[in-house]
Amino acid sequence: MLYSMTGFGRAEAVVNGRQVVAEIKALNGKQFDINTKLPPILRAYELDIRNLLNNMLQRGTIDITVSVRQGGASKPMVINTDLALFYYQGMKQIAEQTGLPQDNIISTLMRMPEVVVPDTDVLPESEWQHVKEVIELAAKDLMEHRLHEGEAMLKDISLRINNIEKLHEKIIPLEPERIERVRARINQWLEDMAGKEKIDPNRFEQEMIYYLERMDFSEEKIRLKQHCDYFNSTVKENDNAIGRKLNFILQEIGREINTLGSKANHAEIQQIVINMKDELEKAKEQILNIL
């Protein structure tokens, strides 16, 4: 089965009165690269989150956002009571001495520096386990999304490899004609250069064997078929991350196709090779999106 490298996952739950929402987005990437956006209460668990997602998502550029809302607030706040009382005593004393009204002392007090600050307490371990489960659910949701996209990519890639195999079969009936064309071309060239009566038939046959051996691409055709078969069997493996392996196989397929083209010496076969290369490039484009 194939998994796309892109996807999105989301999960949420209530943990001890806190609304926890986890959202994960994945894009293409050669390695595992993660960007986290976490509330202060989860900062102590950032390394745990990274390791968790590394094991579950394996590869790609990952963006994770986790929000923890307490009583409707996405950033729980606390009041520094001691500092607030200190400010209050001073403000009250000034108001009494100047005769100013004290109606707005509280609202002014709440705006004083460091009176209302974000809650930086670390989430208890027991609650972290539940938050971790929410993140795992979001990661699983993302992997489901990856799988659905991967299924569509598999159909297209399999079509490309199948087209290469069909093009490969079209070369077989053209080989006898190819050999005869080479023989006739060499014979004509020798006649033009030395004259027909001066051609040694034995020598001519020896040269023909030499050139035909150099132009023979039987091994390339066999290896190309083997690589295509190996590709088709590999995509059926029960492995979440085989993108790199499939890319290596496509590189080997490309080498054999290039060698066929360089040895073809036949216009129709070279056209078939060009079509093979076109199908191969389309497959390579899709493989770049595979996990």
Please report which confidence band the pLDDT of residue 248 belongs to, taking 50, 70 and 90 as the band edges. Answer: very high
pLDDT digits (tens, 9 = 90+) for 25-43: 999 988 899 999 998 888 8
Query: pLDDT tens across 86-118, in order?
Result: 777 777 777 777 777 777 777 777 777 766 655
Contact 5, 150 (CB under 8 A): no
Ordered by start, the domain boundaries in the chain are: 7-75+123-145, 79-118, 147-287
- Report whether pLDDT(218) > 90: no
**Which fold, 7-75+123-145?**
Ribosomal Protein S5; domain 2 (3.30.230)
> What percent of the chain shows pLDDT beyond 70?
85
112, 231, 109: which is closest to 162 by C-alpha? 231
Query: CA 267 from chain center: how many Å?
Result: 38
Task: Name the token pair of 274.
Answer: 């060009």
Listed in sequence order, the residues at least 6 apart from 279 whose beta carbon sits closer than 8 Å to its beta carbon are 160, 161, 163, 164, 167
Say which amino acid occupies 71.
Answer: G
Give me the pLDDT at residue 10, please. 96
Q: Where are the alpha helices (DSSP H) in 73-118?
A: 81-98, 105-110
Report pLDDT for 223.
93
Beta-strand relationship, 32-37 and 60-70:
parallel
The predicted-structure confidence for 231-240, as pLDDT tens digits, reads as follows: 999 988 887 7
Tokens representing residue 287 in the block? 């493989």
pLDDT surpasses 90 at 193: no
Q: Which residue has better confidence, 130 or 187?
A: 130
8 Å CB contact between 78 and 115:
no
204 has pLDDT over 70 = no
9 three-state secondary structure: strand
> What is the enclosing helix (H) or strand (E) of 223?
helix 218-234
Q: Which residue has the tokens 């080989």?
A: 175
Amino acid, res. 228 = C
Confidence tier at 138 by pLDDT (50, 70, 90): very high
CA distance 265 to 277: 17
Q: Which burial class, exposed, middle or buried, applies to 241 when counting CB atoms under 10 A from its CB (0-12, 13-18, 19+)?
A: middle
pLDDT at position 182, please? Answer: 73
Decide which of 274 and 73 is more confident: 274
- 23 CB neighbour count, 10 Å cutoff: 19
pLDDT on residue 118: 58
- 208 or 60: which leads in pLDDT: 60
Degrees, nearest 5: CA angle 49-42-70 = 130
Q: Percent of the chain, pLDDT > 90?
A: 45
pTM: 0.71
What is the rounded CA–CA span in Å between residue 10 and residue 137? 7
